[in-house]
Amino acid sequence: MKHFSNVFLVVLLGLSLAGMAHAAGNANAGKNKVASCGACHGADGNSQIPSNPKLAGQGEKYLLKQLKDVQRGDREIAMMMGQLDNFNDQDLADIAAYYASQTQTQGASEAKWVELGKEIYRNGNHERGIPSCTGCHGPAGAGNAPAGFPMIAGQHAEYIASQLRHFSVGNRNNDGEGKVMRGIAERMNENEIQAVSSYVAGLRQ
């Protein structure tokens, strides 16, 4: 009986590992699943529309979480309603892998926002409890892919600003139980939001 139990556990472990391996994203497969995404995000994930995010080069873990959140309704985006309904977990993993494998186009900062944007990004505002952005997103805005913290360097300033505003009023709340982004964004004024958004748009990887 003991031998049978051990064999049974080994089989279960094997099946579990096989499932985990299957869940890994395949960028080549993902390329064939993003046709409908191109209108808003560009064929290679480099959106030409400032209100829509660039997905190219974004961390795979972060992308997959956002796709699943949108699919479940945990992150509400009007333009995405129903877009992911027919995709399974493997499809979403493949799509995330494809966009993560692409190269993001460079952005640019507006000169008038650079000084304030750099100050807030690198040092925060301690008087109002705004931490620097570098802790999660890195000095160059590359994010932390294994931890699921997004790359924000080169992202459209208009998109970044809109997300900070959504976080600030709780319209976007998929930043976890710690409410990290909501807690930060609600302390930022409009000038700081615009400045940081413009500054990170011009950061280079």
* CA distance linking residue 162 with residue 186, whole number of Å: 13
pLDDT at 4 over 70: no
Tell me: the pLDDT tens digits for 152-196? 999 999 999 999 999 999 999 999 999 999 999 999 999 999 999
CA angle 96, 99, 105 (to 5 degrees): 150
* CA distance linking residue 114 with residue 120, whole number of Å: 10
Tell me: the pLDDT tens digits for 61-106? 999 999 999 999 999 999 999 999 999 999 999 999 999 999 999 9
* CA distance linking residue 173 with residue 166, whole number of Å: 8
Q: Is 146 exposed, middle or buried (0-12, 13-18, 19+ CB in 10 A)?
A: exposed
Give which of 128, 159, 169 is closest to 51, Cα–Cα. Answer: 159
Reported residue count of the chain is 205
Domains of the chain: 24-100 (1.10.760.10), 111-201 (1.10.760.10)
**Cβ atoms within 10 Å, residue 52:** 17
Tell me: the pLDDT tens digits for 119-146? 999 999 999 999 999 999 999 999 999 9
**Cβ atoms within 10 Å, residue 139:** 12
Distances (CA, A) of 1 to 5, 8, 13, 15, 79: 6, 10, 18, 21, 56
What pLDDT is recorded for position 43?
94
